Structure 1
Amino acid sequence: MLRHALAATVLTIGALAPSAPAAAAEGPCRPVGTAGLADLVPGDSTLGLSALPPATVDLPARISLRGTTETFNRRWSFAVREGRVYVKEGSANGGWRTMNLPDCLDGRITGISVDDDELVALDESGRIHTMDHALNAPWTWNWTYRYGAPLWLGDGNTVPYGSTRWTWSVLSPGEDKVWRDSAGNDHPVGGAKVSHVFALSPDGSRITYVDPWLPADHSYEMATPHRGRFRAEALSTAASTSFVVNRYGDLYTRLYDFDIAGSDRVFFSYSYEDQRGAAFPKIQLPAPDWVRQPKVPSSGQITDRISVHKTGRGTDARELRVEGRDHGRSGFWHKALTDSGWSFTETGEPLRGRLLQNTPDDRSADTLVPASPYDYAGTRGGVTARVDAFAVAVTSTPLLLRAGDRELTVTLHTVDGLRQSVQSPCLTSQPRVFYGTVEVPRSVLDDLDAQQPELRDLIRDRLGSARFTDTDVVVTDRTMTIARLGLTLNRT
C-alpha cells in the first residue's frame, strides 16, 4: 500500500523511546507513535523488564493460544486482567510483570492482540490503541491512539461490530520476508508492514478488516468460505493468514489482506493472466481462496478457542491450534499449516472455550446464511445481462449474458479499490467503486464466430476479444455499472 513508499518519509514525531528504561508508556496517550514505521532490528535484550512491577494477580505459567485476553508473539506473552496488561518472556514459566500503560488506558483495557512487533489494545469504547516494538525490549515500547488515513495519522478507529471476536495481524518484511500468491510465486512483503484488525460479525458470516493506513471506516471485507455464506464461530489471524471454525468443527484458512487482494494498484502490479513460470511475475489474481483444513480426529473434543501464529519466514510458516481434549486429557490440538494431520499437546488446564460438535463429516454447508439479496439486470442493444447475489467481499461473480435463445456466462471479478475517503459499509446509495475485470472463457474466444451475433459483437467491440479486460465497476444498492461493457444494471 502507500506504506511501502511513504513509510520512509514519515517523521518519528514524538516516537523515539526515552532513555529511561520502562518509562516509554508513562503519561497521556501519545498522538503519534512509531507503529507506522519499519521496526527496530529485533534483539534479545530485556532492558526495562526488571523495572516493571511484579504481577500481583493470578496468571498462567504459559500461554498456548492467541486470543483477546491472552496472546503471544515470538518473544513475549501478554495477558489482560481487570483493565491492565501483564507481560513475561514467552519462553519463561511465570515471571509476569505489570506493564506501564498510558494514563488513558490504565485500568480501561478490555482486549489485546499481538502479532509480530505490534500489539493492539481496545479501551472500554472499543477504540484501537497500538503499541510498537513488541519484538524488542520493554524500554522501546510506545503507544498511539492514531489510526487511519493518512499514514496512520488519522483520528482513530474502533473495532468493527463492537465485536469480541477480533484479532490483530501483521505481515512484515522483517519476520515474514515473502508471501505466496495463487500461482505459487513468492513476492516480497514490501518496504513496510501490512497490519489489519480483523473482526467477525455477530452472525459469524462477515469478516471486516480495518487497516491503519486506510480510511477510518468499516467498509473493507474479506468473504468467509462458501462465497461469504459460511457462519464462523471464531476467528484468528496472524501474518494475513486467517483461521475460522464453524459449530461442527469444520476448519478453513486463507491468506488475504488489502495488498494480496489486488487493491493496492498504486504500488503493485497484478494480473489475472496465468503467471506460472513467468520470468518477472505479477501478483496472480484472484487472491488465494479459503483452504479446507483436515478436521481434528472425531475422537477428540474441541472448543471455539482457535489460534494461528507464525513460525518462520514465508506464508507456509504458520501453526494452527485448537483447544480441546484427547482421551480425557485437556490441552490443544495443533498442526503446521500444510500438514495433513493433527497432534495433541496436554496442558492439564481446564477448557475455557465453548465446546463444538466435532463431527467427522464435512458440515460446512449446514449453517450457511442466505445468499446476498443484491441481484441486478439490464439490457444493452440485444444483450440482456444479469448478476445474481452480488456481495462486496466476494471477488468473482458469474455475469450472465443472453441474446435471443443463447446464453453465455462470463466472470466479473471485483476488488475494493484504494480510497482515502470514508465509505459506507455494505451497499448503500453511496457509489462504491471496484477495480473490475471481465473474464471470458477461453473456449468462447476459441470459437467466437459460433456465438450469437449480439454476444459475439459485444465481446469483440467492447472487450477487444480479450480473455481479461479491466473495467471500473460502480455499485449502489440500486444500480451496477460495468463501464467497459457499457452496461448499467438495475436492482431486481
Structure 2
Amino acid sequence: MKRLATRGALVAVAGIVFTGLAVHPGATADPAGCVLVGTVGTPEIGADPSTAGLEAFSPATATLPDQIYFRTSTETFNRRWSFTARDGNIYVKEAATHGGWRSMPLPGCLAGNIAGVSADDDEVLAVDRDGRFYTLDHALSAPKDWNWSTRYGTPLWTGPGNTLPPGTLDWTWSVLSANEDHVWRDAVGNNHPVGLAKVSHVFALTDGGTRIRYVDPWLPVDHSYEVGMPAGGRFRAVALSTSGSTSLVVNRHGDLYTRLYDFDISGADKVFFRYSYEDQPGLREAADMLSERIDVGTAAIALPAPDWLRQPKVPGEITNRISIHKTGIGSDARELRVEGASDGRTGYWTKQLTADEWSFVATDQPLTGERLANTANDRSVDPSVAASPYSYAGRSPAGWTATVESFDIANSPTPLRVDFGNGVGLELILHTVDALRQTPQPAGLTGQARHFDGTIEVPVNVSNSGAAQPGPIRDFLAGALGGRRFTDFGVDVTDRDFRIDGLGVTLARTP
C-alpha cells in the first residue's frame, strides 16, 4: 500500500509493543528469539552511491555465476546489486561486475537458514526454510546502510511477521516507488504519482499454478488477497516474476502474459486514493498524490484495473525461467526475459514490455529451467482448470430475482442477471474489488463473510435505450440504480450466500 506516513511517525509507531494482534493460522509470526526492527517501510532519505561497507564482507568461497541474468527466488538483482541464496546464506556483488561475490553477514537467526531471496528497487526480501519473511532495506544504497527487519503486517508494517502461503510454487518480491518509478499508468492511459512510502508486495504462485496471492506488509497477517489469472482465471502458470507491480507469467505451452496490478491499483485503497469507473475526458493528470486525492479537476485512477496483456510468443526454444525488471521511469519501463536457445546457443530471449518482437542474447550458460513446449497456437485456457463453482440466485423483496454465475474473488467483473418475470430480464455487469481490511480473512470463500467494494455497471446499449426498455427495467434503472451507469454497493459473500447491500437482496448458493 502507498502511504503518506512520515519517517518520524512510523518509527514512533514501530516503538510500540503490540499485543493481542489477530494472526491468521498458517501465516505466523516471529521466529522464536528473532525480532529485527530495521527501517523498511519508512520513506527513503537518499542513497549512498558508494560501495562503503562492502569491503568488510568476506570474499565468497562458493562457486557462483559470473553474472545474474534472471530475477528468480534464489538469484536476483536490482539496479545496483546482485544477490544469490546458496546453502542457507546470501552472497552479493555489484550488478555491473562479472564475479567479485562476497558473503553477506546475516543476523544469527538468518545465518545458514536462508532458502530464497528476491530484490526489487531498494528492498530485498529473504525467506528462511520455514518460509518466514525477512526484509532488507536501503538496497540501492551502500552496504553500510543495509539493515534487516522481521516486521510485516498491520498496523503500518509493524506486524509480527508473515510467511509464504502454503503450497507456494514460485514467489517474487515487488516494489513500486516514487524514487525509481515516479508514476504508473492506469487502464485508460493516465499516469498517477507513486506514494512516498511505495508499494511493496510478495507475489506467490499457489494452488498448482492456478492462483496468485499477494502479501502486502501494510495489510493483515494472512494470505487472503489475490490477483486474478489470465484467461478468465483458467490459466495454469508454471512460473511467476514481478517487478514494480508488473507481473509476468508463463504456462507449459509458452503462453506469456503481463499485468500491472497491486493493492492500490486494484481500487481497494479508497482511504488514500480516488477511483472512478466513469469516463473522465479532458481531466488533467495530477502532479502529486495529495492533489489527485482532493482535486476533482484531476483524473481519478481509472477502474477496472489494467487487465492481463498477452505477450507475443517467443520465436524459439524456451524454459520456465522467466524474469521481469525495471529499466527506467514509469510502469512501461520493464524488460522481460525468458531463458532459451537459438541457433545452437543458449541465453535468453528479451523484449521491452510494450515491444512487438523478441530478440535473443547469447550467454552460453547451461539452461537451468524446465523446457517448455512453446506451441505456436494459443493454449492459455487450461481444460484442467474449471470455472469457479460459486454461483448464487435469489429473490428480492420487490419481487425480481437475481443470478450470479461462477463468482471468483479475484476475477472481476461478473455477469449479474436480473429477471422481472414474463420473459423480461436485464444483463448487468458487477465489478468487485477485494476491500481494505485490517483483520485477518481466510483465503478463498468460507463461512466468514468477505466484503467487497462492488459497482454495478449498466451496459452502454441499455443505458442509451432506457426510454425504450420495458417498464420493469425502466423502474429498476431509475429506482434501484438511481439512473446512473455506475452504482456503488457493498457486496458480502460467503460460501453459502451473496448479499448486495443497498439492493436488499441476498442470493443463496446454487448447485
Range of TM-score over shorter length: over 0.9
CA separation in 2, counterparts of 1:454 and 1:210? 45
DSSP 3-state at the match of 1:364: coil
Q: Deviations over 1:22-67 (max 9, x none)?
A: xxxxxx8543111111123234210000110000000000000000
CA separation in 2, counterparts of 1:144 and 1:180? 31
| Counterpart residue number, 1:397 | 414
CA separation in 2, counterparts of 1:2 and 1:184? 20
| Counterpart residue number, 1:253 | 258
State the AA in 1 paired with 2:488. D
| Counterpart residue number, 2:219 | 214
Q: Contact 1:61 / 1:94 at 8 angstroms: preserved in 2?
A: yes
Q: Contact 1:437 / 1:471 at 8 angstroms: preserved in 2?
A: yes
- 2:329 is the alignment partner of 1:329: no
Deviates more, 1:4-13 or 1:376-385: 4-13
Unpaired runs of at least 5, structure 2: 16-32, 285-297
Q: Contact 1:115 / 1:239 at 8 angstroms: preserved in 2?
A: yes
State the AA in 1 paired with 2:394. G
- 2:379 is the alignment partner of 1:363: yes
Q: Contact 1:230 / 1:368 at 8 angstroms: preserved in 2?
A: no
| Counterpart residue number, 1:413 | 431
State the AA in 2 paired with 1:390. F
Q: Contact 2:242 / 2:248 at 8 angstroms: preserved in 1?
A: yes
- CA displacement at 1:448 relative to structure 2: 1.8
Aligned partner of 1:466 among 459, 484, 490:
484
| Counterpart residue number, 2:46 | 41
- CA displacement at 1:441 relative to structure 2: 1.4
Structure 2 length as normaliser, TM-score?
0.91
State the AA in 1 paired with 2:475. D
| Counterpart residue number, 1:433 | 451
- CA displacement at 1:162 relative to structure 2: 4.2
- 2:185 is the alignment partner of 1:167: no
Aligned partner of 2:163 among 158, 161, 165:
158
**Change over 3 Å in CA distance of 1:379–1:202 after alignment to 2:** closer
| Counterpart residue number, 1:270 | 275
Deviates more, 1:161-170 or 1:85-94: 161-170
Q: Contact 2:136 / 2:149 at 8 angstroms: preserved in 1?
A: yes
Aligned partner of 1:446 among 445, 454, 464:
464
Q: Contact 1:374 / 1:491 at 8 angstroms: preserved in 2?
A: yes
CA separation in 2, counterparts of 1:417 and 1:486? 20
CA separation in 1, counterparts of 2:429 and 2:47? 45
| 1:334-353 → structure 2 map (5 Å cutoff) | 334-353=350-369
DSSP 3-state at the match of 1:485: coil
CA separation in 2, counterparts of 1:180 and 1:276? 16
| 1:84-95 → structure 2 map (5 Å cutoff) | 84-95=89-100
CA separation in 2, counterparts of 1:153 and 1:214? 10
**Change over 3 Å in CA distance of 1:421–1:449 after alignment to 2:** same
CA separation in 1, counterparts of 2:142 and 2:121? 14
**Change over 3 Å in CA distance of 1:83–1:472 after alignment to 2:** same
| Counterpart residue number, 1:25 | none
Q: Contact 1:220 / 1:425 at 8 angstroms: preserved in 2?
A: yes
Q: Deviations over 1:449-476 (max 9, x none)?
A: 3323223222211110100011100111
DSSP 3-state at the match of 1:456: helix
Deviates more, 1:366-375 or 1:116-125: 366-375
State the AA in 2 paired with 1:113. S
Aligned partner of 1:225 among 230, 255, 258:
230
Structure 1 length as normaliser, TM-score?
0.95
CA separation in 1, counterparts of 2:151 and 2:481? 44
Q: Contact 2:337 / 2:351 at 8 angstroms: preserved in 1?
A: yes
CA separation in 1, counterparts of 2:198 and 2:8? 12
Q: Contact 2:168 / 2:204 at 8 angstroms: preserved in 1?
A: yes
CA separation in 2, counterparts of 1:421 and 1:131? 26
Q: Contact 1:2 / 1:213 at 8 angstroms: preserved in 2?
A: no
| Counterpart residue number, 1:10 | 10
**Change over 3 Å in CA distance of 1:303–1:2 after alignment to 2:** closer
CA separation in 1, counterparts of 2:181 and 2:224? 27
User: Percent same amino acid among aligned pairs?
Assistant: 58
| Counterpart residue number, 1:285 | 303
| 1:73-84 → structure 2 map (5 Å cutoff) | 73-84=78-89
CA RMSD of aligned residues (A): 1.5
Q: Contact 2:2 / 2:199 at 8 angstroms: preserved in 1?
A: no
Q: Contact 1:254 / 1:288 at 8 angstroms: preserved in 2?
A: yes
DSSP 3-state at the match of 1:294: coil
CA separation in 2, counterparts of 1:229 and 1:327? 34
| Counterpart residue number, 1:476 | 494
DSSP 3-state at the match of 1:454: helix
DSSP 3-state at the match of 1:11: helix
Q: Contact 1:29 / 1:143 at 8 angstroms: preserved in 2?
A: no
Q: Contact 1:196 / 1:209 at 8 angstroms: preserved in 2?
A: yes
Unpaired runs of at least 5, structure 1: 16-27
DSSP 3-state at the match of 2:491: strand
- CA displacement at 1:386 relative to structure 2: 0.4
CA separation in 2, counterparts of 1:462 and 1:184? 32
Aligned positions, number: 478
Deviates more, 1:443-452 or 1:150-159: 443-452
Q: Contact 1:117 / 1:135 at 8 angstroms: preserved in 2?
A: yes
DSSP 3-state at the match of 1:3: coil
State the AA in 2 paired with 1:395. S
**Change over 3 Å in CA distance of 1:244–1:103 after alignment to 2:** same
Aligned partner of 1:372 among 388, 396, 400:
388
- CA displacement at 1:239 relative to structure 2: 0.3
**Change over 3 Å in CA distance of 1:2–1:50 after alignment to 2:** closer
